Structure 1
């Protein structure tokens, strides 16, 4: 299967990249020993060479270089657009810069060792580099480029791990310190070597001891350098020209990808929907960079599903992990062969947390939920008698108390509206009775408000009072918003009814009003409060509700 084949090659590219990054890491740590002394660098080189020049490891290392480079060229050729996010572009450009920067160093150390018997210790390598300002600049650039390229790749890999957010600061600190220490270690070693080189006879003794190659060998190495750089340029240019010829040959077979705003993007067959978004400058989330490891780029197919090849096993696994509804595809894996209309399901700024945990209800789904509204009574009059700072401070304390009550009960804090609170229960489909959770949240709100009134004491002319309304029923749940501002919320008659029940607490002179539907769903005795039959604006039929004087007295 093509999808499985691509997935395996992606895993191979990651594995070889990690192996090569481990080499760069150990090499930089060896350089950092130069802060101690040149002798410490050479002492650290003993275990370094024992591992990396162990024949099976050395063969694996060379195969990794060739394989990683070949897969990188394949990925560059397979791209149907060179439009990409900044960090992907940076990784690509840095990766293309590595071979020209490191070829001379590789020839002068490893190849010279294999071919001419050079004992490539640090003293002659540091001396050769330190004697030329150009070589110092090239080597410094090479250290930074290889390190940053590897760190970006590892960042794309790790950002989907659940533990990554907690470890990010520590990893970033290490990523910053290691190359700095490496360059400082090299600089210190260079000072020491240049001092040694001024001693009479030191260079001659070192040349004999390390078997430095003669002029002819050096000229041979530079000839190989020329061949290597020309060959590399031919390969890269060949890939770019090949991409252009491929695109030119199939341009007449353009495929149209349509978006909800009416924009249509023309792509070539074989391009992904994510590439279509990038070609059309349409913001599209992709935490993993289009590698099929996350779900943030997923789209709903509105039309043209038949033009898409079936999803691979790996794509199905990712979609199953987030509970994707039928008709959902990963934009980075879906390659339409004909007209297709799509709608991205997550906002362009979706995070790795959303990639790990976003279930499909975020894109819109009807669920049976409990909706709670709470509002401070007489707050407008209260705020007119206070300084703005006092009002903000009090509101923040109130929102914290109410929010903690909702979270502790297993609810989702939807929004704060002025001095009001809206909370949802049961939106995530997790175990638990949403109706019972909502009642428990009302009880906790009442208790938290009582504690807050007690803590403010005489600062309040009168204790704060709240009205709470709760209803249970069907509602449409999903992420809604515009641009970068999207929130998980609910809409429908259930939400409107809950809001009006909160208003009804004024008329019924109580703290909490709940619908009979909620009481039945919570499976608790109907004696929790006094029953009323009320009329609500916008509803033709009356509604049976229960009025509870003090929500803190609820027994659940």
Structure 2
């Protein structure tokens, strides 16, 4: 993460904690106004100490300045995510709503020694100026939404956060609701107290201010609003001038597949160019250089491109990206360049997490296992759809558990067929041993399933399994939401043919000689056969077993 991004994040977290503790203090109004003031004493001990004030004001200045810098650097406002728009809109709304509250409390406290208790605040917002009370309630909601969205955007790329999202959402919603209920309950209590002349007399004495104090608050508010408007106008005018200046320096053309091109001024990232032209381009993190989903392959014009900064290198190294791949959100081409976005839009959230390097495409020697139920189509013709789906789901569960129990990776279920991969990281030898153990377990699991479903099955289910080991290409392949990790190559075709050969032999398991050799499997005395495989010049030597449970126990296999 860039230093500026990290500073912006930490400053935002400080402000988030401040708002959360302030809202928790409001929620004490559900109990009573004195309870709110008791909580206020703790709150002020932290945030009105000189350290707390320094931290809070520093965080506010740093966060605001860096958000402004980020907005200044942005070259397009087209194609932003909904959360980005929420962040920018709420960020603009907060200051004008907040300024009066700050001046009437902290300002009067510092200048005139006002003890701004909750009685003072609730009297002003609930009885004297109800519209300001409505504005402050809106401010609470807007500020909390801004903070929660920011924290969510920071955490959502962390795998550990995903299971916590429902609880985090519930806690965030509960806090803002309790805060508003506390405000209303406290206001109603002030209504009752205000009917007591003695209490009102004591309140007026405690909150007496010189006549010029109120005038100062509203004058300062109007001055602050004017400054905000001027700042926005200056920002807009300066950005327009920068845009004109950059375009006068000449344009850079970015070429995309399907003869699409975009001409932009230097300093625009490839991702911003895509958004400006309406070209679909994945970017789960919103262009913050954290998720890698916007990555592109440089087809032409790679010479002379700006060197990668630390954050981009870290992200690309994490996913094992090959040479010539860059993050579109970080790359600002100074000259004409041709790129190919590597992920489709929309892209599933899982793509944002650290995938192993081989997911991008790699050659591996692995074991491939195919399994298929026998005569399942005939079974399906005689059963109701519900029964067919139920039995098939049970089969998938039993087989899936068997594969995963031995380190395999389920590639896909195709009807009543299973494809699984073994040894993707460990290699062919380990993969072959794992696949054989999985086959034995699948055979046992099928017996268990037949026993469990004996009331639903007229005859026990039978299956065929084929296993082969060989060199394949593995990686995530597909389109849009239909993207899966799979393997392609001649070895996959052979494993499929071995599984189908069980029908001819009336067997349950057919393995290639290559599998036996890789696994160190002793099949002495077992008859070897040769079968023809379409597309291959030479036959494949195989071993046929009536049952996968006939495999020698693992401890008898050589290491």
TM-score above 0.5, yes or no:
yes
2:429–2:519 contact (8 Å) kept in structure 1? no
Structure 1 partner of 2:165:
168
Measured at CA, do residues 508 and 469 of structure 1 come closer, stay the same or move farther in structure 2, by a change above 3 Å? same
| Equivalent of residue 104 in structure 1, options 100, 107, 118 | 100
Query: Cα 1:254–1:525, aligned 2, differ >3 Å: closer, same or farther?
Result: farther
1:188 CA drift (Å): 0.6
* Cα distance, 1:386–1:140 mapped onto 2, change above 3 Å: same
Aligned CA distance change for structure 1 residues 270 and 385 (closer, same or farther; 3 Å)? same
306-315 vs 454-463, greater mean Cα deviation? 454-463
7, 11, 17: which one pairs with 2:6? 11
* Cα distance, 1:547 vs structure 2: 1.3
Aligned partner (choices 361, 368, 374) of residue 364 of structure 1: 361
Residues 2-401 of structure 1 correspond to what in structure 2 (within 5 A)?
7-83=2-78, 84-131=80-127, 132-200=129-197, 202-210=199-207, 212-252=208-248, 253-401=250-398
* Cα displacement (A) at 1:277: 2.8
CA displacement, residues 230-251 of structure 1 (integer Å, 9 cap, x when unaligned):
1111212222222222222222
Q: TM-score under structure 2 normalisation?
A: 0.94
SS state of the match for residue 159, structure 2? coil
| Alpha-carbon contact 2:291-2:353 (below 8 Å) kept | yes
Which stretches in structure 1 are left out of the alignment for 5+ residues? Answer: none
Could you tell me how far 1:429 is from its partner in structure 2? 5.8
For the 8 Å contact 2:429–2:518, the answer to whether it is kept is no
Cα separation, partners in 2 of 1:529 and 1:445, compared to 1, 3 Å? farther
8 Å CA contact 2:528, 2:541 repeated in 1: yes
Out of 523, 528, 546, the position equivalent to 2:543 is 546
Q: Give distance in 2, aligned partners of 1:345 and 1:431.
A: 29
Is 2:267–2:332's contact at 8 Å kept on the other side of the alignment?
A: yes
- Which 10-residue stretch deviates more, 36-45 or 355-364? 355-364
Q: 1:54 offset after TM fit, Å?
A: 0.7
CA contact (8 A) 2:365 2:427 kept: no
Relative to structure 1, the CA distance from residue 430 to residue 35 in structure 2 (aligned partners, 3 Å threshold; closer, same or farther) is farther
Partners of 1:169 and 1:440 in 2: how far apart?
A: 39
- Cα deviation, 1:251-292, whole Å, max 9, x if unaligned, reads 253322333343323333222222233223333333332222
Unaligned runs of 5+ in 2: 555-559
Structure 2: how far apart are the matches of 1:326 and 1:333? 16
Matched, 1:525 2:547: no
TM-score normalized by structure 1? 0.94
Figure out how many residues of one structure are paired with residues of the other and give that number: 550
Tell me which residue corresponds to 2:557. none
